[in-house]
Amino acid sequence: MNYRTIVDAAARRHIQSWGLSDPLWVEAELRLNERLPRAPTAVLERDASLFGGDRMTYKFHLIDPDHRMRVHYFVFQVFYHADETRLLVTRGRA
């Protein structure tokens, strides 16, 4: 079953505040909107050390295309929506 990702407005503003380059922004968006909803059970994990408790998180890293020696690490808090067709991204860290 494919899900659809919804990024909370506050989380989207927070992500935009990171000042990612266009290529990094696009790749992060692809990860959230294409890879995550295709197989959430394969990429989501529980992590009690993040976001104040035992939460589902989606973690990935990207190599900066402008600076190949720089790696950006991302983690997002994700909830299954009550309608069981959407994934809600509520917070993120980079």
Question: 60 exposed, middle or buried (CB, 10 Å; 0-12, 13-18, 19+)?
Answer: middle
CATH number, domain with residue 10: 3.30.2310.20
Range of the domain at 51: 4-93
- Span 6-48, pLDDT tens digits: 999 988 998 899 999 999 999 999 999 999 999 999 999 998 8
Q: How many domains does the chain have?
A: 1
The phi, psi pair for 83, rounded to 5°, reads -80, -5
The pTM for the full model equals 0.88
Distance CA 51, CA 71 (A): 22
The phi, psi pair for 59, rounded to 5°, reads -115, 140
Distance CA 2, CA 36 (A): 9
